[in-house]
Structure 1
């Protein structure tokens, strides 16, 4: 019976964590970006049902032109950003259409980056709950580099 209670608690916590996952909203999957130019990446952190503390994020880019890209939990590729993550609500949410806390991060796509299919990789590190359990989540967005 104790095993069942522990399993249910673990499943509930994991479900809560997944429901709170931060993600890259822009650029969207399939968008084009330009080598040698700056790019605004909009990272959304949905409302949380549990207390959490942000630690930071890292964003990278990998070329997928000559071989399939690895998932972000294996590599971030060329690092574009590594630092603080302080998502905020927009003051005028109706005007921006953004109703979740988010942060715009401007990065520079290297000028010599391989043109073609690429993947923007994202890693998010945060502490969850009263016990401040550490979590790392990752995700990817597929783009085309021009």
Structure 2
């Protein structure tokens, strides 16, 4: 029983340390072919965590809606960035917490789309690997 509670505590701690989008916000409109600065926020950790990297992808929802689109099952589409993730505090925006900005060029497709992050990190004293996927629905339009 102790092992069960330890696993639940570890899972809760890992889930609380996920990355999310500061910019763009849900429903934002981005012009196809444009270069946009994307800001990724990282929740502060109460335990030791090591960022292993992230990927940022863009998938067009061809059905006209992204309501049932799940990047963890349906794919991330076009990968706009993959590599290191090293979020830091920004002294000009301390309320935003840990964050990192990425300048990305968005492809030429139009319509509702899902911008997603796949994040890999090692959490806690034992460096338990965790994998998180989060997304935001945006509109690709001129």
State whether TM-score is above 0.5. Answer: yes
Give the alignment partner of residue 53 of structure 2, picking from 52, 56, 74: 56
Give runs of ≥4 in structure 1 deviating > 3 Å: 67-70
Paired residues in the alignment total 138
> Which residue of 1 is the match for residue 78 of structure 2?
78
TM-score, normalising length: structure 1 = 0.88
For 1:126 and 1:142, the matched residues in 2 are separated by 24
For 2:55 and 2:90, the matched residues in 1 are separated by 22
For 1:15 and 1:129, the matched residues in 2 are separated by 12
TM-score, normalising length: structure 2 = 0.90
Matched, 1:106 2:103: yes
Q: List gaps (5 residues or longer) in structure 1.
A: none
Computed over aligned residues only, the root mean square deviation of the Cα atoms, in angstroms, reads: 1.5
> Which residue of 1 is the match for residue 91 of structure 2?
91
Higher strand share: 2
- Residue 73 of structure 1 aligns to a residue whose secondary structure is helix
For 2:25 and 2:62, the matched residues in 1 are separated by 19
Contact 1:35 1:145 in 2 (8 A): yes
For 1:62 and 1:16, the matched residues in 2 are separated by 29
For 1:101 and 1:60, the matched residues in 2 are separated by 21
Matched, 1:126 2:111: no
Q: List gaps (5 residues or longer) in structure 2.
A: none
